[in-house]
Structure 1
Amino acid sequence: MFFPEYRPRRLRRTEALRAMVRETELSVKHLIYPLFVCPGKGVREEVSSMPGVFRLSVDEAVREAREVFELGVPAVILFGIPEKKDEVGSEAYAKRGIVQRAISAIKKEVPELLVVTDVCLCEYTSHGHCGIIKDSEVDNDATLEQLARIAVSHARAGADMVAPSDMMDGRVARIREALDEAGFSHVPILSYAVKYCSSFYGPFREAADSAPQFGDRRSYQMDPANAREALREAALDIEEGADILMVKPALPYLDIIRALREEFNHPIAAYQVSGEYAMIKAAARLGWLDEERVMLESLLSIRRAGADIIITYFAKEVARKLGR
């Protein structure tokens, strides 16, 4: 029997050999863990569609942050559920807003943990859209001023990085300008540069109480059919001052992550969103797949596509499995 000179199975024979030639690494240092912060004290309310994910009061968020840091996960990203909502999302930039209080408390108790903050209005507006509504439509330019106020308020509270997720045109430039004018030129921007209008966000909208009350977000989030547009969006955000580019969702858009990796030298982040997490959890509960192996494989595929950073609800589980 004839075999070619090179036989690939030679390097697959043992774990030591496989590890030696492994091309992609998955480590806890690549992960960011999302936290949903809500009013109250001692609140730890599980999100029904996201087993293992909770709405947390500030004191519980601090406890969770400490656990995350001790597991070796380097960063959390905060999403706020305010006590009240209004048409312009004023609680998003309130000095004693829910996220502002959480930032301060976490940085006081776990100062070495990186705190990233979501900068958007959807959790804070009574209509559930990511911007200011005028004549039944989201007003892009009016929204920019609100986003800048939010970002500066987060920086003042101690945030290490801000992450605008609204998909308004020009938001990165306006936020960069506002941060610099307020003395926070050292605070980087992780831009949701390529955020698709995806059906995979459903569980998140339950967790953050952020579903739009009318219409949808197709006029500002990207069309899932478009790939070249992703490169244009990313290029604009780089030009405006973004430090890190993010693709959201992750697994259905691995081709987009790869395209950005090949086109740009900036760090690339990807968000393994709530629907991706919920599908794995649900299938595992039904015994249809091995949760741990699928969790690791899915995250490894996101890294292999080119992501340097992954936001994932599995961060703690990965840390327990892989260690520091």
Structure 2
Amino acid sequence: MKFHGPAPDNQTTPCTGILLTNLGTPDSASVRDVRDYLREFLSDPRVVEFPRPLWWLVLNGIILRIRPKRSAAAYRKVWTDQGSPLLVISREIAAALQQSLAQRVDGSVKVVLAMRYGSPSIAAGLETLRQANAQRILVLPLYPQYSATTTASTFDEISRVLRQWRWLPELRFINHYHAEPGYIDALAKSVQQFSATHGECDRLLLSFHGIPQSYADQGDPYADQCRITADRLAAALDLPQDRWAFSFQSRVGRQPWLQPYTDKTLQQWGAEGVRRVHVICPGFPADCLETLEEIGEENREYFLSAGGSEYHYIPSLNSTPTHIEALTDLIQRHLWRDA
């Protein structure tokens, strides 16, 4: 292996780097770009735990021939003039954090956004920090709840990139913040503010992205951390048990995923006569396809078709001041003392 990346330039003022990461997005809503994105995403053994030779045949012979067209149609529903909502909002979060940290942290801090899949890549983000003379790097994946499919995969890619560097910075990694008081408070305030504008709901549903049940059975703590987030948010809102529930969305394939399922829960509520529902997705710090299209549109139809009367999706925290404050506090506590 040929190592690259010289030591930091002593003529450049050292800084502390914040590598803010998210899942990723296609470069456009075209079928070709969606196919390229899905190929990278679904080729990750952390995401799909399946024998590699057989999975390669399934992925390339079946899935990538069918799914990109359907996914591209969904992406077109949420695509903006600036691009993918996830990328646009993640950039806004990074910019707001840069400004917030500059006001509250002694020393030079540089925030750089990177995506686990697609652009801007983790390799590009780390290189930007290297050129900025970041001698220490704090990694913050925007996944409040830890899962091997997301957080650990991010660590894998960072490790892969840094294995090719000759000089290595000091490195810290925040692997979850599912019970952080600031994060819970920001979620609670978003629910309260939404209800003040749109009226109270009969029930609040907290929908998290799902993972296969087998992953949890083998030790992935994701489901437990989602339950803790849900319980603490309900407590912060002082909700009685019959006024809220949590569920898991985005399942694919035939194997069991974490339950209860979001779509089935909403259909059941509609059939039971629940009239007004609000849905929030605490595991998604930035709005994306899974929140805007799957929750905002697809699951709305499930609830209304089953007999419900009114359905509202509460937006993700995005770049709201309470979210930026919570993330700033989190970063500050993990920074080196003399940062």
TM-score by length of 2: 0.27
Q: Which structure is higher in helix share?
A: 2
Greater relative contact order (Cα < 8 A, sep 6+): 2
